[in-house]
Amino acid sequence: MKEEKRFREMIKKMKAYRYALSLIGWDSNTEAPRNAFKRRSTMTAYLSKELFLMQTAKDYQEVVNILYEKYEDLDDLLQREIKKAKRDLDKVINIPENEYVEYTKLINDTQIVWEDAKANNDFASFKENLEKIVEYNKKFALYYDKLANPYDTLLEDYEEGMATKEYDFFFDSLKKELVPFVKEILKKTNDKYEELNKTSFPKRGQKEFSEYLLEVFSFNKKSGLIKESVHPFTWNTSPEDVRFTTKYMENYIFSSIYSTIHELGHATYEQQISTSYDDTLLNGGTSMGIHESQSRFYENNIGRSLAFWETHFDKFKEIFPEQVKGYNPIDMYKACNRVQTSLIRIEADELTYSMHIMIRYDIERMLFSNEIEVKDLPKVWNDKMEEYLGVRPTNDTEGVLQDVHWSVGMFGYFPTYALGSAYSAQIYYAMKKELNIDNLIRENKIKVINEWLKDKLHKYGSSKTPKELMEMITKEKFNPKYYIKYLKEKYSNIYN
């Protein structure tokens, strides 16, 4: 089929540009010197423009549309690919070239603006850029579908099949079932493990433990690496080049441990995808929610289990003998699962985590339905924090400025974090039917868990939808009840 060959060649070429832009992003987020941003911004604008021209070129449109018309004649994989291509095309086709280039430049320039604003607790200096970013996102969503709620369009970008209707149901379940439970637990929490969270753990030792974790989780270092950045993230261009970052805080040991394990979840997913998708649109994880289910699974279901600390406490103690004097594995388990009202999402415990997401979901929903404006964000943020978590940030650094997402134009992304945790609980109960998870952790055989996930989920890349995958793995539709059940079981147990 002639069009298929043309389509394939075009995709490959676009991938080369995405590869370059992606590597520039990796560099910019992990090591590029500060003053490099000016040159980078100019150069990136050129490359983005070229990519944009290809993505919107008449001959590309033609090829995609021809194949889309022949949809029924295509094989399954090509069907899925063309469906994605068609959506991506329709998303971008109506954006005027200059707006696209300006937006890309804006996002690049905003990085340093946000970093400075966060460092200096100065929301005002970030406000103008954020307003522009929000406006562009609304505009772009309406270009795609002028009748739809712009926020629904954005939500669907990150998670196929999930829009406000579905998320409202999901978050309402959590509000109903979880918020009262969280309030009960918060009454019972005590400061017994507060000290551990304040002890100084030298960075060198933390790095050593992170390196050890790479072995424990069987991360393939020939096809990846670990580095540092302000906000931990995973990056990949193929299953043979998967990198991630972590963050070392001397006075908060669990930050680097659970950032590392969390990103190891994302990275393991990417490393285990079949390389046969590399030159197609079906490479990479299938959705943000499914991706997050993997990072949360590794972080929480494995990393925050008692079995984990029973197995790895000796190594931890070897590196930090002074710091953990008098502690045992059960203490570590309780300390890393200590529930408290944290200000910072990425430092939140597993139980209160989804409260942080609900705040962001509420805010994004209101922002995109024009109920609030960007200038209102600091106050609305703090009000919501009080409502769901009972604390009020005293500055924006620990409030509305804490996350990178909005500064890079990611609206509709946050809800997938909570969704991912809920997916992971459902996957956890499915896995338990086939594997003795705790025993595998105790026998240092996490590789077996990796293999199970590879076979059931990872290897498929984006060739299946989130919905298809959840049904294949768990034999039923996504259901938030498993998440609620899992959290109630775990925390009732810890807090009696």
Q: Using CB under 8 A as the criterion, which residues of the chain lie in contact with its own copies when the complex forms?
A: 12-13, 15-17, 19-21, 23-24, 26-27, 31-36, 38-40, 42-44, 46-47, 50, 220-225, 227, 237-238, 240-241, 243, 278
Residue among 196 and 282 whose Cβ is closer to its own copies: 282
* Distance (Å) of CA 155 to CA 79, 167, 168, 216: 23, 9, 12, 35
Q: What is the DSSP letter of 374?
A: G
Cα–Cα distance, 50 to 67 (Å, whole number)? 24
* 166 classed as catalytic: no
CB 124 → its own copies: shortest distance, Å? Answer: 24
Residue among 358, 331, 366 nearest 494 (CA): 331
CB 45 → its own copies: shortest distance, Å? Answer: 8
* Interacting residues of 338 by C-beta distance below 8 A, sequence separation 6+: 189, 193, 194, 197, 349
CB 36 → its own copies: shortest distance, Å? Answer: 4
The rounded Cα 270 to chain-centroid distance in angstroms is 13
* Distance (Å) of CA 327 to CA 29, 211, 277: 37, 23, 47
CB 156 → its own copies: shortest distance, Å? Answer: 29
Residue among 173 and 223 whose Cβ is closer to its own copies: 223
**271 in Cβ contact with 239 (< 8 Å):** yes
Cα–Cα distance, 157 to 191 (Å, whole number)? 42
* Interacting residues of 206 by C-beta distance below 8 A, sequence separation 6+: 248, 250, 253, 256, 257
CB 119 → its own copies: shortest distance, Å? Answer: 15
Residue among 280 and 301 whose Cβ is closer to its own copies: 280
Residue among 263, 270, 350, 364 flagged as catalytic? 263
Residue among 268 and 474 whose Cβ is closer to its own copies: 268
Q: Which residue type is seen at 496? A: N
Residue among 12 and 183 whose Cβ is closer to its own copies: 12
Q: Which residue type is seen at 190? A: N
Which positions are annotated as active-site residues? 263
